[in-house]
């Protein structure tokens, strides 16, 4: 595995790879790698000749009261995990390398960003779109891989690629879960023992919503309220949102007559967890691509 820390070197490498007609798969991460990330890396091997991954904690997607400084980091461990999972080139730039000067042009997400997490995280997806615009350009990726745990990000990235005509196919991969159903996340380490036991109920609440759809419920308000009631009854967390929306447009889906997402966000004492399930109107899971 080759570790790259500068934009100049990455540009040189990807130019050479393209000259040799190698296809490139790209997995962008913020590090502290876990099974969710390695699943994306493994998936890339099915599509592309070369796997490029990035580790960059992007300050643009953190608000002033969010956890940029506290975001978990472990470079030595990340290097070992990336190499073990077949990463050919690992791009690990500094903030100064990615943003050397004040930006002349900014990327602003107009749609799909004012619901779910975006409602309470003003500017978050602008930061995501900005860094991915740079990374897609630098890596020249034929395929880019994202986990459906952050389904709103998948929807926003799909819009970014379509709007700016990137020659990159977005592959959305199902959420990787612990044995008890909790979605794997770097932030799970901040849960207390009691909160960790409670957190499993996020996924269980989504399964309740999914079953309601299978049973023929088409009232989104009814589904939303039953999911909320279950979370309140089984966790000490504070609900940020429970939403039932069309996917990937993230628009209102009342009544349900299309593919939809049931999404939840719950704030525990030191960690905010998100989870979702994406189903069609019969309650069937979609294919894991966008």
Q: Is 85 annotated as a binding residue?
A: no
- Find out whether 3 is annotated in a ligand binding site: no
Determine if residue 184 is labeled as part of a ligand binding site.
yes
Query: Nearest CA to 184 among 167, 203, 165?
Result: 203
36 annotated as belonging to a binding site for a ligand: yes
Which is the catalytic residue, given 22, 37, 137, 201?
A: 37
Q: What DSSP string runs through 39-74?
A: HHHHHHTTT-SEEEEEE---GGGS-TTS-TTTS---
**150 among annotated binding-site residues:** yes
Residue 187 annotated as binding? yes
Q: What is the β-pairing status of strands 260-267 and 272-279? A: antiparallel
Q: Which has the closest alpha carbon to 60: 123, 146, 7, 111? A: 123
Q: Which two tokens stand for residue 90?
A: 């690992």
- 148 touches 176 (CB < 8 A): no
Is 73 marked within a binding site?
no
Instruction: Provide the β-strand partners of residue 260.
Output: 246, 279
> Which of 171, 181, 107, 106 is CA-nearest to residue 142?
171
Tell me whether residue 31 is annotated as binding.
yes
Report whether 176 belongs to an annotated binding site: yes
Residue 218 annotated as binding site: no
Examine the residue annotation and report whether 37 is marked as an active-site residue of this protein.
yes
Residue 216 among known ligand-binding residues: no
- Cα–Cα dist 33/73, whole Å: 9
**CA-wise closest residue to 33 among 143, 185, 147:** 185
The reply, when asked if residue 147 is annotated as ligand binding, is yes
Catalytic residues: 37
Pick out the residues of the known binding site for beta-alanine: 61
Pick out the residues of the known binding site for ATP: 30-37, 147-150, 176, 184-187
Pick out the residues of the known binding site: 30-37, 61, 147-150, 153, 176, 184-187
Pick out the residues of the known binding site for (R)-pantoate: 61, 153
């Amino acid at each position: 595995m080759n570790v790259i820390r500068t934009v100049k070197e990455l540009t040189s490498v990807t130019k050479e790879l393209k000259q040799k007609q190698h296809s490139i798969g790209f997995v962008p991460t913020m590090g502290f790698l876990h099974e969710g990330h390695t699943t994306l890396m493994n998936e890339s091997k099915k599509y592309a000749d070369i796997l490029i991954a990035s580790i960059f904690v992007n300050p643009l997607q953190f608000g002033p009261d969010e956890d940029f400084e506290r975001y978990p980091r472990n470079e030595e461990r990340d290097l070992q995990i990336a190499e073990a999972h077949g990463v050919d080139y690992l791009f690990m730039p500094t903030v100064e390398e990615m943003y050397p000067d004040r930006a002349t042009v900014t990327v602003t997400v107009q749609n799909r960003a004012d619901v779910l997490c975006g409602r309470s995280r003003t500017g978050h997806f602008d930061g995501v779109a900005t860094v991915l615009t740079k990374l897609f350009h630098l890596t020249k990726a034929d395929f880019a891989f994202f986990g459906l745990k952050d389904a709103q990000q998948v929807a926003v990235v799909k819009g970014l690629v379509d709007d700016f005509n990137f020659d990159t196919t977005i592959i959305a991969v199902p959420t990787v879960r612990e044995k008890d159903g909790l979605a794997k996340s770097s932030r799970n380490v901040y849960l207390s023992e009691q909160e960790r036991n409670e957190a499993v109920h996020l996924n269980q609440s989504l399964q309740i919503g999914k079953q309601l759809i299978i049973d023929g419920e088409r009232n989104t308000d009814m589904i939303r309220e039953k999911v909320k009631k279950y979370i309140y009854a089984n966790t000490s967390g504070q609900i940020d949102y429970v939403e039932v929306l069309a996917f990937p447009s993230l628009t209102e889906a009342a009544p349900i007559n299309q593919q939809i997402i049931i999404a939840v966000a719950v704030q525990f004492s030191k960690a905010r967890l998100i989870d979702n399930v994406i189903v069609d109107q019969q309650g069937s899971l979609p294919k894991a691509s966008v």
